[in-house]
Chain A
Amino acid sequence: MTKLESKIPEGPIAEKWKNYRDKQGLVNPTNKRKLDIIVVGTGLAGASAAASFGELGFNVKVFCIQDSPRRAHSIAAQGGINAAKNYQNDGDSVYRLFYDTVKGGDYRAREANVYRLAELSTEIIDQAVAQGVPFAREYGGTLDNRSFGGALVSRTFYAKGQTGQQLLLGAYGALSKEINRGSVEMYSRREMLDLVMVDGSARGVIMRNLVTGELERYSAHTVVMATGGYGNAYFLSTNAMNSNATAAWKAYKKGAFFANPSYTQIHPTCIPVHGDYQSKLTLMSESLRNDGRIWVPKKKEDAEKIRKGEKKPTDLSEEERDYYLERRYPAFGNLVPRDVASRAAKERCDAGYGVGPTGLAVYLDFKDAIERLGRDAIETRYGNLFQMYKKIVDDDPYETPMMIYPAVHYTMGGLWVDYELQSTIPGLFVAGEANFSDHGANRLGASALMQGLADGYFVLPYTVQNFLADKINEPRLSTDAPEFEQTEKGVRERLEKLINIQGEHSVDHFHKRLGKIMWDYVGMSRNKENLEEAISMIRDLREEFWKDVRIPGDIHDVNSELEKAGRVADFLELGELMAKDALEREESSGGHFREEYQTPEGEAVRDDENYMHVSAWEYKEGEQPQMHKEHLEYKDIEVKTRSYK
C-alpha cells in the first residue's frame, strides 16, 4: 500500500523552504540538456513552469488543448493576485497572508505548503512587473492594491478586471522566448488521453492531435501536469468550455491519489442562470465587493413585487433593504469569504427574499460607491466588468443594481501532492488548480493566480530538478517501448467504443443531466440522504451514457463531439467520487456544507477531532476506491472556529 509521505522539510516554518533548497539535488548544465520534461497545460502554472525549465536548460515539451497557449482558462481570471508586499503599510506580512489562507481554508490545508506560498507571493509580483505586466498604478507611479474577501488588508494586485489575462500573457511571453531559443517545443491543439507508466514511474503521455485525430506518443524523464480544475463536472460553471478533468482522472486511474474531491468552490457573485440553452455562467469578480453592497428586500412582499416586475429595486428606501452580510458579519461585511457569502445568498433566496424572474438572485449595488467616488472612479476600477454585465443582461449596472447568484467556480480538490508537488506516482508532478495543495476547504479570492505562478515559477524548478538529479544516467526512452504500445491501444479502443455506440442522445444531453444532479445534491448544501441518492443516480446515468450516447463524425478528423464525450465520460466517474467524498466527510468545512452539521444560526460546524485530515482516494480496479488520510498538524497557527463576525 502506498503511504502518504508529505516530505515536509525540517526546521521552523519560516526556514523550511530555505532548508529544502540548501540540501536539494542539482543537475549540471551539460546533463540538463540530456533530460526531458513534459508539461501538460499552458495556464499560469504550466506556462510559467515550462518557461522556467527551459531557462534552466532542460528539454521541454509543452501541450495544450487550445489553438494557442495564450488562450488557457487562466486568461479569464478577473479580479487580482495576492502578495504579502505590504506596500500599503496596512499591517500585512508573510505570516498574515499565511494565517488568512489557512483560516480561509477552514484549517484543512497543509501548513508548510501555505507558508511557502505566502513567502513566494512577493517574488511573483516582481517577476510579473519585470515582464511588462501593466498592473494598476497610483499617480506617484507605484503599484496600487485592492481588498479581497477574507482579509482585512489590501494586498491584491490587479490590472483592471483582467488580471489573469495580463499575468498569463506575461507567462506566455516567457514561454515564447524559450520557444524561440529552442529549449521548449510547443504542441497546441493536443489532448492528453493517458499517462504512460514504465516500471512504476510516469514516463510519457498519449496525446490526441485535435486537428488530424491521430494519437501521438511522447516520452520524457518526468511529466508535469498543470491541467486545471474540474468545475465543469457541474455542466454550468464559470470555467472555460474546454476545462476538464480527463488528464487528472487518467493519472488517478494509474495510481495518483485524488484528494478532497468534494471541496468545490461556489462563487457568490455570478450572473444568474437565465435559460436552459445556457452553456456557461459568467463571473462578476469578487473585487466588486470592495465597492458593491449586497442586499435583498427586507419584506417578502417587496421581493415578490420585484419578481413580478411591479416594483424596481431603486424604488426601495434604505430602510426597506436588508444588507444581510453587513448585518450577519459586521467585522468583514461584504468581504466575507466566498463560501460564507454564497450560503448567505442561498439562505435568503430559499427563505423567499430572492429577486429576479426566478427568485434566485440578490442585488450587488454600487449606488453608494458611485455617490462617494463618482462614476469615473468606478469605471476605472471595474469598467470591463460593467460592460460585460451590460452586454449579457441588457441592463445598466451604473443605474440599477446588478443581480447575482452563486455558481460553481473553482475546485480546491485535485491530485494529492507532497511538499515537492509530486503525486503518489513517482515522476508525476501536479501544479496549479489541478493539485489539491494550498487552499484547504475553501480558497480565498486572488489566491489561485498566486498559487499557480508560485508552483510554476518558483517551486517546480527546484523540486523537479531535485527529482531529475537522480536520473542523469537514465537514457531517453523510445516511444516504441511496449508500455507506449499498450497505453495507446487502450486509448484507441476507448475512442472506438465511444463512437460506435451511435445511441439516441447527444453528449450535452448527458452532461446537463449530470450537472443537475451535481448542483442539486453535491452543490452548496449537502446531506447524507441526497448524497446517497446522487451516487446511485450518477451510476445509472453513466450506464445509460455508455449505451446511448451519439457521436457523429470520424475519429480521424476534427471532432469536438468526440472530445466532449471523452471528458463527460470521465466526469461521470469523478462525479461519483465527489459525492462519495462528501458523504464520508461528516462535518461542515469551507465549501463543503453538510446540513446535519450547523449551528442554530446556520453557521458551519467543523469536527476537528475526526476530520482534520486530507482525504486521498486510491483507485482500485473493479472495486470501491480506498481512502487514505493525511493528518494535518497546526504548529504555527492556533486552530479556532472560523468567525467573520
Chain B
Amino acid sequence: MNFTLKIWRQDGPKDKGRFEKYKVSDISADASFLEMLDILNEQLVDKFQTPVEFDHDCREGICGTCSLYINGRPHGPDEAVTACQLHMRHFKDGETITVEPWRATAFPVIKDLMVDRSAFDKIIQAGGYVSVNTGSAPDANSIPVTKKDADLAFEGAACIGCGACVAACKNASASLFVAAKISQMALLPQGKVEAKERAEAMIAKMDELGFGNCSNTYACEAECPKEISVSHIARMNREFLNAKKDSEK
C-alpha cells in the first residue's frame, strides 16, 4: 500500500512547529502503524534527514507509551486499540494520513510527536494508591472481595495511562484517567479506608495541573483504547461529594 503522511514536526518545546509531508510506498497491510513509521524513519536516515521522534515501547497496547493523534482521533480509526496495535489494513491505499501529538496544555510537546505526560504521575503521587508499607499485609484471602467488585475494580485498573482521554476531550480533562483509579480503589475493601482523602487530593491535583473540567461529552470513553466506561466518573463524583460533605460536617 502507498500513503502520503502529513506529520507534525516540532524541534522542541519552544519551536512553533509545522506539518511536513512524506511518502511511503509498498507498505504491507499487516504492518502496524508504528512499523510504517519505522519504515519512514529508515528512509529519512537514508537521506541524511532527522527521523520523526515518537514515543513507544511495548508495541502490544499495554504500556501506554504510544500517543499519536491520527486523522483527528487519538490512536486512529480502529476501535479499542492503541496506535501500536493499529494495522495499516484499516487505511485506504493512497490515503493521506495526518499524524499529530496529543494536544493539551498539561501535556507540552517535547519534540515532534513526543509529549510530556508527567502530570499523570503527579496526580497518582497525590494519592492514587493504598498507603500500605511492605511487609505489613494480612493473608491475601483474609478479606474476601465479591467477584463483581473485583471485576469492576479491574476495569478501572486496566487504564494504561496513555492520555487518549485527555487528547479526545475538548476541555482536555483528565477525568476518566483520575476516575479509573479512584473508582478501582473505592471498590476494594483495601482502598476504602482512604477513599475520601484520595478523591479530594487527586482531583485537586488534576485541577492544579491545568486539566480542564468534564462537561459530559463522553469523547473520552469513545476513544479509550481500553474501553473504560464513564460510569467510573460518576463513581468518582460520588466519592468526591461524600468527601466534601464529611469535611463540612
User: Complex formed: what's the CA distance from A391 to B42 in Å?
Assistant: 25
CB–CB B118/A67 < 8 A? yes
User: Complex formed: what's the CA distance from A154 to B64 in Å?
Assistant: 31
Surface stretch bound by B, among A31-39, A271-279, A287-295 = A271-279
Residues of A within 8 A of B118 (CB): 67-68, 188
Surface stretch bound by A, among B91-99, B123-131, B215-223, B234-242 = B123-131
User: Complex formed: what's the CA distance from A136 to B148 in Å?
Assistant: 10
Contact of A136 among B78, B121, B127, B150 (CB under 8 A): B150
Contact of B60 among A127, A176, A388 (CB under 8 A): A388
Residues of A within 8 A of B191 (CB): 132
Residues of B within 8 A of A129 (CB): 137, 140, 143, 190
CB–CB A71/B57 < 8 A? yes
B247 lies within 8 A of chain A by Cβ: no
CB–CB B147/A162 < 8 A? no
Residues of A within 8 A of B53 (CB): 558, 560
CB–CB B63/A240 < 8 A? yes
Surface stretch bound by B, among A137-145, A298-306, A489-497, A617-625 = A137-145
Closest Cβ of chain B: how far from A361's Cβ, in Å?
A: 15
Q: Which residue of B lies closest to A180 (CB)?
A: B125
Q: Which residue of A lies closest to B28 (CB)?
A: A275
Residues of A within 8 A of B58 (CB): 71, 73, 75-76, 240-241
CB–CB A76/B116 < 8 A? no
Contact of B144 among A141, A282, A387 (CB under 8 A): A141
Closest Cβ of chain A: how far from B204's Cβ, in Å?
A: 13
Q: Known A76-B60, A280-B59; judge A130-B138 contact (CB<8 A).
A: yes
CB–CB B137/A126 < 8 A? yes
Residues of B within 8 A of A134 (CB): 150-151, 153-154, 157, 184, 188
User: Complex formed: what's the CA distance from A77 to B50 in Å?
Assistant: 34
Per-position contact with B for A555-592: 1 when CB-CB < 8 Å, else 0? 00110110000000000000000000000000000000
User: Complex formed: what's the CA distance from A128 to B138 in Å?
Assistant: 11
Q: Known A75-B58, A392-B85; judge A176-B129 contact (CB<8 A).
A: yes
Residues of A within 8 A of B121 (CB): 68-70, 176, 186, 188
Contact of B129 among A173, A388, A552 (CB under 8 A): A173
User: Complex formed: what's the CA distance from A283 to B85 in Å?
Assistant: 14
Residues of A within 8 A of B150 (CB): 134-137
B38 lies within 8 A of chain A by Cβ: yes
CB–CB B133/A275 < 8 A? no
CB–CB B28/A143 < 8 A? no
Q: Report the interface size class on chain B.
A: 35 or more
Output the residue of A125, A135, A552 with the most chain B CB within 10 A. Answer: A552
Closest Cβ of chain B: how far from A126's Cβ, in Å?
A: 4
CB–CB B57/A241 < 8 A? yes
Q: Which residue of A lies closest to B124 (CB)?
A: A176
CB–CB B28/A277 < 8 A? yes
CB–CB B59/A141 < 8 A? no
Q: How many A residues have CB within 8 A of the partner chain?
A: 79
Closest Cβ of chain A: how far from B43's Cβ, in Å?
A: 10
CB–CB A394/B30 < 8 A? yes
Closest Cβ of chain A: how far from B160's Cβ, in Å?
A: 8
CB–CB B128/A131 < 8 A? no
CB–CB A138/B62 < 8 A? no
Closest Cβ of chain B: how far from A520's Cβ, in Å?
A: 23
Closest Cβ of chain B: how far from A149's Cβ, in Å?
A: 21
Closest Cβ of chain B: how far from A29's Cβ, in Å?
A: 14
User: Complex formed: what's the CA distance from A136 to B157 in Å?
Assistant: 13
User: Complex formed: what's the CA distance from A179 to B132 in Å?
Assistant: 14
Q: Which parts of B34-74 form the interface with A (CB within 8 Å)? A: 34-35, 38-39, 42, 44-46, 48-51, 53, 55-65
Q: Which residue of A lies closest to B187 (CB)?
A: A134
CB–CB A126/B140 < 8 A? yes
CB–CB A174/B134 < 8 A? yes
Residues of B within 8 A of A186 (CB): 121
A216 lies within 8 A of chain B by Cβ: no
CB–CB B81/A391 < 8 A? yes
Closest Cβ of chain A: how far from B184's Cβ, in Å?
A: 7
User: Complex formed: what's the CA distance from A176 to B129 in Å?
Assistant: 8
Q: Which residue of B lies closest to A125 (CB)?
A: B140
User: Complex formed: what's the CA distance from A394 to B85 in Å?
Assistant: 12
CB–CB A506/B59 < 8 A? no
Closest Cβ of chain B: how far from A239's Cβ, in Å?
A: 9
Contact of A177 among B62, B63, B129 (CB under 8 A): B129
CB–CB B138/A126 < 8 A? yes
Contact of A506 among B45, B63, B126, B190 (CB under 8 A): B45
A51 lies within 8 A of chain B by Cβ: yes
CB–CB B188/A132 < 8 A? yes
Ranked nearest first, the 8 interchain pairs of A and B with the lowest CB-CB distance are A141-B144, A173-B129, A130-B137, A126-B137, A134-B154, A129-B140, A71-B63, A176-B125
- For the A-B complex with A134-B153, A275-B31, A457-B134 known, give 4 more contacts whose Cβ atoms are closer than 8 Å: A75-B58, A131-B129, A275-B30, A388-B61
- 23 A-B residue pairs with Cβ-Cβ distance under 8 Å, sorted by A, are A51-B134, A71-B63, A76-B62, A87-B141, A129-B140, A130-B137, A131-B130, A132-B130, A132-B185, A132-B188, A140-B144, A143-B141, A169-B157, A173-B128, A173-B130, A177-B131, A275-B31, A277-B35, A279-B38, A283-B60, A394-B87, A552-B44, A552-B50
A-to-B contact residues, CB < 8 Å? 48, 51-52, 55, 66-71, 73, 75-76, 85, 87, 123, 125-143, 159-160, 162, 165-166, 169, 172-174, 176-177, 179-180, 186, 188, 211, 240-242, 274-275, 277-280, 282-283, 387-388, 391-392, 394, 457-458, 461, 506, 508, 550, 552-553, 557-558, 560-561
B-to-A contact residues, CB < 8 Å? 12, 27-28, 30-32, 34-35, 38-39, 42, 44-46, 48-51, 53, 55-65, 78, 80-81, 85, 87, 89, 110-111, 114, 116-118, 120-121, 124-141, 143-147, 150-151, 153-154, 157-158, 160-161, 184-185, 188, 190-191
